[in-house]
Amino acid sequence: MSYIYFFLIIFIPLYAVLADKDNFFKFNIKIIIAGLVTVSSLLVYENLLSNGSLELAYQKQSLEIFLGEDQQEKENEREQVNNLITQLVKKRDIEPGELYILARQLKNINEFMLSRDLYKEIYNRFGNDLDGEVVAEYAQVLFMSEGRKFNDSIYILLEEAVKKNPNNPSALTLKGLAELEKSNPQLTIQLWNQAIPLLNSEKEKDDLRSLIEAVKKRKNQ
């Protein structure tokens, strides 16, 4: 669809210059000339000058739709967004911020599978320079994309996230859940108690307190 827009943007002004007023709305040779010149211009730009800019523009337009709330339109653009992510992770000169912004946007709309690929690329390229918050986000996305199941990779990421930032509530909360799954309820309670004062809302604090009480009851049974 984006190519049609580009075609019209070039074709209409060009035809307006070439066409006679009397024959403007009639099929004539100048329509063919304007059409051929427009198509040729697009082909030259796409293949020689743009380095894929037209396709990239189309993919970014698809991304804007994908990040919206219309579920049907989102599914229609999923393939283009997949292609955009593939292109971005292949770029050797890409800035980490460009990958991170998109990874975070996809995470925020619960597109964990797509977001995971971007976080993975960020971690593989820039892992040593990442702070604990980004590492914790990667662990969260990996956890969600695995069907809320833990694996060795997630455990390692959580250890790293807490080591880099001991006061990250997300890392502490998720690590507490991981320890619970490993049958370490006392450590879970310790981590969650550490996370409570770091949370932003009273609801989050109350929810975590309730979970702590549930773990204590189960522990004492």
Q: What is the 3-state secondary structure (H, E, C) of the chain?
A: CHHHHHHHHHHHHHHHHHCCHHHCCCCCHHHHHHHHHHHHHHHHHHHHHCCCHHHHHHHHHHHHHHCCCCHHHHHHHHHHHHHHHHHHHHCCCCCHHHHHHHHHHHHHCCCHHHHHHHHHHHHHHHHHHCCHHHHHHHHHHHHHHCCCCCCHHHHHHHHHHHHHCCCCHHHHHHHHHHHHHCCCHHHHHHHHHHHHHHCCCHHHHHHHHHHHHHHHHHHHC
**At 99, is the pLDDT very low, low, confident or very high (cuts 50, 70, 90)?**
confident
Query: Tell me, what's the pLDDT at 207?
Result: 95
Residue that wins the pLDDT comparison between 24 and 62:
62
| pLDDT tens track for 31-88 | 777 677 666 655 554 554 344 444 555 567 778 888 887 888 888 888 888 888 888 8
Query: Tell me, what's the pLDDT at 54?
Result: 43
The model's pTM is 0.72
Asked if residue 162 has pLDDT above 80, the reply is yes
Query: Tell me, what's the pLDDT at 87?
Result: 85
**At 22, is the pLDDT very low, low, confident or very high (cuts 50, 70, 90)?**
low
| pLDDT tens track for 100-142 | 988 999 999 999 999 999 999 999 998 888 999 999 999 999 9
Residue that wins the pLDDT comparison between 15 and 103:
103
**At 1, is the pLDDT very low, low, confident or very high (cuts 50, 70, 90)?**
very low
The highest-confidence range among 12-21, 58-67, 210-219, by mean pLDDT, is: 210-219
Mean pLDDT score of the chain: 82
Query: Tell me, what's the pLDDT at 43?
Result: 58
Asked if residue 217 has pLDDT above 80, the reply is yes
**At 175, is the pLDDT very low, low, confident or very high (cuts 50, 70, 90)?**
very high
